[in-house]
Amino acid sequence: MARQQVDDVVGFQPSMQDYLNYVRDPGNGYLSTTIYPKKGMELTIKVR
């Protein structure tokens, strides 16, 4: 299992939309959600 964190996805969302769509699609083998410790961080886990 691998984990990835991307910081400030709220502020940069327009430029990151393709990435977010990809990791949020369960068919691509990831679980991903935005958490809010500060400005919004995308926490992604590769499940297969």
Report which of 30, 22, 35 is spatially closest to residue 1, judged by C-alpha positions: 30
Contact indicator for 32, 22 with CB cutoff of 8 Å: no
For residues 47 and 12, what is the distance between their CA atoms, to the nearest angstrom? 25
For residues 3 and 6, what is the distance between their CA atoms, to the nearest angstrom? 10
What HEC string does the chain produce?
CEEEEEECCCCCHHHHHHHHHHHHCHHHCEEEEEECCCCCEEEEEECC
Query: How confident is the model at residue 1, as a pLDDT?
Result: 64
The whole-chain average pLDDT of the chain stands at 84
Does the pLDDT at position 27 exceed 90? yes
Query: How confident is the model at residue 22, as a pLDDT?
Result: 93
